[in-house]
């Protein structure tokens, strides 16, 4: 049985052109378009792409209209679906209006799709007004019901806040209610979890499930020194392969430099929860 491959992007932090924001001058939307082109030119041939949150930095309706255009262009170029979930920088009502073309509402955005026998479940860990992430009880109940029937090739969970974090990152940056989510996932067909938020590649296992956090597409986070964290101009994407033997991850680094966008104290990260 051939593996199913998909591409995992995260933390694009895009803004519409001619809008204000701390990262507008860095043309972050260009990076997303370049990643789609790189996937196509290098014949990665994924079955789908998933972007795990912080789609926009400011989260305005105009931003999501623009992001939808870029996502549709990427989907058309690659001939595959592109799925998204929401992160802490995203806003539900503008997302529904600008990206989904629906009436604006504060309802959480989550879903289940099956692609070539592999089920992708997108969860909404975004908590309005907060940096931390949670999965509400209604969503957990829906997830438990959804997972009660196994998929042919297993299930991938996509959400913004990771279940594991890197050593330099405060523990508050993992999903706040990960134990409850872990209980729902136990004994199911879930083979992998993909997330973002920390802007740093981190692959491990959580309760026996492969757990993957990816570098940010907009910028990657790294430890500058013992007391500071940096966001640098370093772009990559992950190619995740799912086969009967397990899950593997390949990080593909995009051409470019490593200029520092900003640097801030680690203590500031600990305060953002």
Look up residue 192 and give its two tokens: 């992998």
8 A C-beta contact, residue 242 and residue 156: yes
CATH architecture of the region 4-271: 4-Layer Sandwich (3.60)
Query: Token pair 């299930």 is at which residue?
Result: 155
The predicted structure's pLDDT at residue 242: 98
Tell me what the pLDDT averaged over the chain comes to: 89
What one-character DSSP code corresponds to residue 153? T
pLDDT at 65 over 80: yes
pLDDT tens digit sequence for 75-110: 999 999 999 999 999 999 999 999 999 999 999 999
pLDDT tens digit sequence for 113-172: 999 999 999 999 999 888 889 999 999 999 999 999 999 999 999 999 999 876 656 556
First-last CA distance in the chain: 43
pLDDT at 27 over 60: yes
* 261-267: average pLDDT: 69
Percent of the chain's residues with pLDDT above 70: 89
pLDDT tens digit sequence for 211-238: 999 999 988 777 666 677 677 788 899 9
Going by C-beta distance under 8 Å and a sequence separation of 6 or more, which residues neighbour residue 77? 36, 37, 40
pTM as predicted: 0.92
């Amino acid at each position: 049985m051939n593996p199913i491959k998909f591409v995992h992007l995260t933390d694009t932090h895009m803004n519409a052109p001619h809008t204000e924001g701390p990262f507008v001058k860095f043309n972050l939307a260009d990076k997303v378009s370049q990643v789609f082109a790189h996937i196509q030119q290098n014949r990665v041939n994924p079955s789908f792409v998933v972007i795990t949150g912080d789609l926009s930095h400011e989260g305005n309706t105009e931003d999501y209209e623009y992001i939808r255009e870029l996502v549709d262009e990427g989907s058309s170029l690659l001939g595959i679906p592109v799925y998204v979930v929401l992160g802490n920088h995203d806003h539900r009502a503008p997302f529904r209006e600008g990206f989904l073309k629906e009436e604006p509402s504060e309802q959480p955005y989550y879903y289940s799709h099956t692609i070539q026998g592999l089920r992708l479940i997108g969860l909404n860990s975004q908590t309005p007004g907060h940096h931390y992430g949670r999965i509400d009880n209604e969503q957990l109940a829906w997830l438990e019901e959804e997972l009660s029937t196994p998929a042919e090739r297993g299930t991938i969970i996509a959400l913004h806040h990771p279940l594991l974090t890197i050593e330099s990152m405060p523990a508050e940056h993992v999903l706040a209610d990960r134990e409850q989510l872990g209980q729902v996932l136990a004994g199911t067909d879930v083979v992998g979890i993909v997330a973002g938020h920390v802007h740093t590649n981190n692959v491990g296992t959580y309760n026996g499930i492969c757990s993957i956090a990816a570098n940010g597409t907009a910028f990657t986070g790294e430890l500058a020194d013992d007391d500071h964290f940096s966001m640098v101009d370093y772009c990559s994407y992950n190619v995740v392969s799912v086969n009967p033997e397990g899950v593997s991850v390949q990080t593909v680094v995009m051409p470019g430099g490593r200029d520092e966008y900003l640097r801030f104290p680690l203590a500031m990260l600990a305060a953002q929860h």
